[in-house]
Amino acid sequence: MIKLRQIRGRLQGLAKVILSSALLLFIVVACDDDEGSNTIDEVLYIDGPASVAPASTVTFTAAEAGGDVTWTVTGDATVSASSDLTADITFGAVGTATVSASGSGLTGTRTISIDGVAAEISGVTFTTASKINDGGTDVVTMTFAGPLASVPTVALTGDFTAGTISELTEVAGSNMTQFEATVTGGSGNGQLNVAITGVTLTADYGGATADLEAAIHEVDNVAPFGALTLSTTDVNSGTAITFTMTLNEGARANGDAMIVDLTGAGTESTPIEVSLVASEDPAVWTGSYTIAGTDEGTLTAVLDAATVVDMAGNAPTELEVNGSVNVDNTAPSPTLTAAEDPAASRLVKITPSGDAVLWIWLAGNSQFVPESTADFEGEGQGTGKFVASPGEYKLYYMEVDAAGNASAISRYPADEEDFVEVAE
């Protein structure tokens, strides 16, 4: 009796499973027959931000679709460009807009929020520099995050207010996003700050209101100082000299450029003006000149101090502006001797005519003959004293002077049949 009841229960459960499966199959078939239905796989997905700023242009992409896609918008927005699966949508004032896309029988729609922006400054720029001195003027331009409903008011504020600032005026063509004022420096030294009141964006941008502050110019009434240096002291024709003006602070040219005047040897009797340009560091200015002609003597370089001012417009009062180089186009004529030192057996002493003489000590039967200064690298230079093995030796030598002039390469002893003899 117990087994019969268990079998009957299992049959009833199986019947329920079969009935449920049949019902699910009916539903699926019914859905397949309904061509107008829309399942989740048939929705065209649109990729892009959910919120945007007013007057912005944003690219949206249609995914899971093949072929061309048609884009439409409603609300304060327009389709500015479209290609294949993407579209550039340009939005208008604060509010909402919808972006729709359709293609390959699929359709998708997204609602986009056009959010207002904060009443804030997005940039502060200067016409000449961020520094002015007493009586010096410059124009400061303030850029706001969006168009303003009216012109704000400005006033210098903070612990240091040595100077004046004019009223703001709109920069032409900026659509009320940029305003400029003239700043005039006063006495003392310090940072100028400005309070901007009544900053109100237009309703299209959300109408946000704020009172703001910004750092503008620094007042600097301290004169700069520095020195002119030259890259070398001895040169010959064809040598490039670099002139470097290094100051204690950033500087600018008073005129078209900072000028170094060159006179004397190496200029072919013509005064030369070398223009210095700023490096990545505005306190360091450089220029170069290549020595010309064959004359010899002193080349004098003098910086024109009147062409130098700091960022605030202060003229220097302490400058080292003079420099010079020796122009030498005459090649040296070195001599060299090598002999055993009588103080000790096999001790050889080499005596050249100058400290810069280069030499190579070779065995008498060596076939190597040097042809350039590179062949003397790592060998002897100047005087030398060392112990040598018994035998015959020869030396090749030359000299390159401080200006870069090179002598001919000579052999010692000069006669090919002679050698330096080192006895047992």
Percentage of the chain lying above the pLDDT 70 cut: 89
Q: Quick check: 26 pLDDT over 60?
A: no
Dist CA 149 CA 23 (whole Å): 66
Q: Quick check: 35 pLDDT over 70?
A: no
Q: Quick check: 287 pLDDT over 90?
A: yes
The CATH architecture to which 40-114 belongs is Sandwich (2.60)
Q: Quick check: 15 pLDDT over 80?
A: no
Cβ neighbors of 309 (< 8 A, separation 6 or more) are 224, 251, 252, 253, 254, 315, 316
> Which DSSP string do the residues of 282-331 spell out, in sequence order?
TTEEEEEEE--SS--EEEEEEE-GGGEEETT-PPPSEEE-EEEEEE--PP
Contact by Cβ (8 Å): 285, 198: no
Query: What pLDDT does 270 receive?
Result: 82
Percentage of the chain lying above the pLDDT 90 cut: 78
Identical fold for domains 40-114 and 121-219, yes or no, is yes
Radius of gyration for the chain, computed over Cα atoms and rounded to the nearest angstrom:
43
* pTM summary value: 0.70
Q: Quick check: 188 pLDDT over 50?
A: yes
Mean pLDDT of 191-215: 97
**Burial bucket for residue 216 (CB in 10 Å: 0-12, 13-18, 19+):** buried
Dist CA 304 CA 49 (whole Å): 59
Give 149-164 pLDDT, tens digit per residue.
Answer: 999 999 999 999 999 9
Instruction: Sketch the domain layout of the chain as residue ranges.
Output: 1-37, 40-114, 121-219, 225-327, 336-422
Cβ neighbors of 9 (< 8 A, separation 6 or more) are none
414 vs 11: which has the higher pLDDT? 414
Query: What pLDDT does 3 receive?
Result: 35
What CATH code would you report for 225-327?
2.60.40.1930
Query: What pLDDT does 43 receive?
Result: 76
Residue 284 half-sphere exposure, CB side, CA atoms within 13 Å?
A: 6
Give 87-113 pLDDT, tens digit per residue.
Answer: 999 999 999 999 999 988 889 999 999
What CATH code would you report for 121-219?
2.60.40
Q: Quick check: 424 pLDDT over 90?
A: no
Residue with tokens 């903070």: 158
